[in-house]
Amino acid sequence: MPDHFQLLKTDTVTAARRARLRTRHGLIETPIFMPVGTQGTVKSLTPAHLQEIGAQIILGNTYHLNLRPGSELVRDLGGLHQFMGWDGPILTDSGGFQVFSLAKLRDIRDDGVAFQSHLDGQKLFLGPKEVMGIQQNLGSDIAMVIDECPPWPCERDDCAKAVARSFKWAGQCKQIATDSGFLANGHHVFAIVQGSTFDDLRREAAESLAALDFPGYAVGGVSVGEPEPEMLKQVAATTPFMPADKPRYTMGLGTPPQLLKMVALGVDMFDCVLPSRVARNGLVFTPDGPINLRNEKFRTDAKPIVESGEGAANYAARFSRAYLRHLTVSGEILACTLCTLHNLAFYLDLMASARAHIEAGDYGTWHRAWIERYEAGAAARLAG
């Protein structure tokens, strides 16, 4: 077992794992959800808020931070941790998904991706050298390799080319991290497994990247437009071929039930903009499904968002649904803060519950019952 990763327990019914990941800025207990701080901030929250709700690690974005304010400036001001006042671990995405989403503005080449900034049209280039240099400037605890994320749907030949190109870039990223001392200084680099909906290509990608012995691995190319059953199928087709003694991360998703289903498939780490994005529109999560605080029925509701269970003990819980609805429909900034605080606390509490049930040995039964309750509540609200 590598020094940085300790597998503590594996569920006997599912593939769920309880583990511990060591980084330069502290230990991470997994399974874990990572709040997204794309531009060096989790929108509407301070680092103190994040600490209060138990965030262990947050995510920043290489693409956006390199455009604004620039990775050299962040480096000169002490690195991303000091720049944003967060002393816990930080994972930085390589920007590969942003390049994927800028399909009309980019040109994929064998040495990287040439594209135009979505801000001002400036011509830019990201290859392994650039991506690793930016993340070294930021001081990332976990840096992601650059990869090519195929669209959904895609042709097999196009996907195979993307897998081959991503493997080549991953090897170059690791070599750069080795030669520069980035890995030796305790930073981690995670490889990304692509393959779209082609199970054999996902297995090929996972096994070839495993041979390069990265500190961690991610399932990439999911939640790019495919239906949920297909997304889960892709994760299930990938995790069995990822090293069991390294952390596994599924990038960019999902809903609370999706997270629990992926924990059952052996995934350790998650990130998603969903809980913070929908919070800004008044949608908040409960164990009985999400509720929209803009609904008129909450105008006189004196209850907190959640009375018991996940998300019940954070600062937002001292306010009534009626007050939070008032803030939301009035466009008050405090609504964004309190609803985001609640939603992220809900996700983090859910992962804490998952860890506890893996340790207790009943994760399989518990997660199925939890999902059934959540989905039944969500369906009842839609019907009502």
Q: How far apart are CA 351 and CA 357, in angstroms?
A: 10
Q: Provide the residue type at 108 as one letter.
A: I
Quick one: 150 and 222 in the same domain? yes
pLDDT at residue 119, rounded to an integer:
84
Lowest mean pLDDT among 61-65, 229-233, 285-289: 61-65
**Is pLDDT above 80 for 369?**
yes
pLDDT at residue 102, rounded to an integer:
67
pLDDT at residue 100, rounded to an integer:
67
For residue 323, what is the enclosing H or E element? helix 321-329
For residue 19, what is the enclosing H or E element? strand 17-23
- CB contact at 8 A, 92 and 60: yes
**Is pLDDT above 90 for 138?**
yes
Quick one: 286 and 266 in the same domain? no
Q: How far apart are CA 362 and CA 168, in angstroms?
A: 41
For residue 115, what is the enclosing H or E element? strand 112-116
Quick one: 108 and 37 in the same domain? yes
What band does 120 get if pLDDT is binned at 50, 70 and 90?
confident
What is the count of structural domains for the chain? 2
Quick one: 262 and 312 in the same domain? no
Q: Which of 209, 238, 272 is the last residue of a domain?
A: 272
- Report pLDDT digits (tens) over 297-330: 999 999 999 999 999 999 999 999 999 999 999 9
Tell me how far apart the 2 most distant CA atoms of the chain are, in Å. 62
pLDDT at residue 115, rounded to an integer:
83
Q: How far apart are CA 347 and CA 285, in angstroms?
A: 9
Tokens of 99: 């390049």
pLDDT at residue 13, rounded to an integer:
97
Quick one: 62 and 211 in the same domain? yes
**Sheet strands side by side (includes 5-10):** 5-10, 17-23, 26-30
- Report pLDDT digits (tens) over 253-290: 999 999 999 999 999 999 999 999 999 999 999 999 99
Quick one: 164 and 180 in the same domain? yes
Tokens of 6: 């300790």
Average pLDDT in the 70-85 region? Answer: 98
- CB contact at 8 A, 160 and 206: no
- CB contact at 8 A, 232 and 200: no
**Is pLDDT above 80 for 104?**
no
Catalytic residue IDs: 93, 271
Quick one: 378 and 250 in the same domain? no
Terminal C-alpha separation, the chain:
51
Our separate counts of H helices and E strands in the chain read 14, 16
Nearest to 308 by CA among 341, 358, 263, 353: 353
Q: How far apart are CA 332 and CA 8, in angstroms?
A: 44
Quick one: 212 and 254 in the same domain? yes
Q: Report cis status (omega within 30 of 0) of the bond before 256.
A: no
**Is pLDDT above 70 for 1?**
no
Q: How far apart are CA 221 and CA 195, in angstroms?
A: 7
Residue with tokens 């961690």: 216
- At residue 91's C-alpha, the angle toward residues 249 and 124, to 5°, is 105
Quick one: 304 and 188 in the same domain? no
For residue 248, what is the enclosing H or E element? strand 248-250
What does the DSSP 8-state code read for residue 62? H
Beta strand pairing call for 90-93 and 142-144? parallel
Q: Which of 243, 272, 301 is the last residue of a domain?
A: 272
Quick one: 342 and 245 in the same domain? no
Quick one: 235 and 292 in the same domain? no
pTM of the model: 0.97
**Domain span at 133:** 5-272
Spatial CB neighbours of 237, under 8 Å, sequence gap ≥ 6? 195, 199, 202, 203
| CATH number of the domain within which 236 lies | 3.20.20.105
Q: Which of 238, 257, 272 is the last residue of a domain?
A: 272
Quick one: 163 and 250 in the same domain? yes
- CB contact at 8 A, 246 and 215: yes
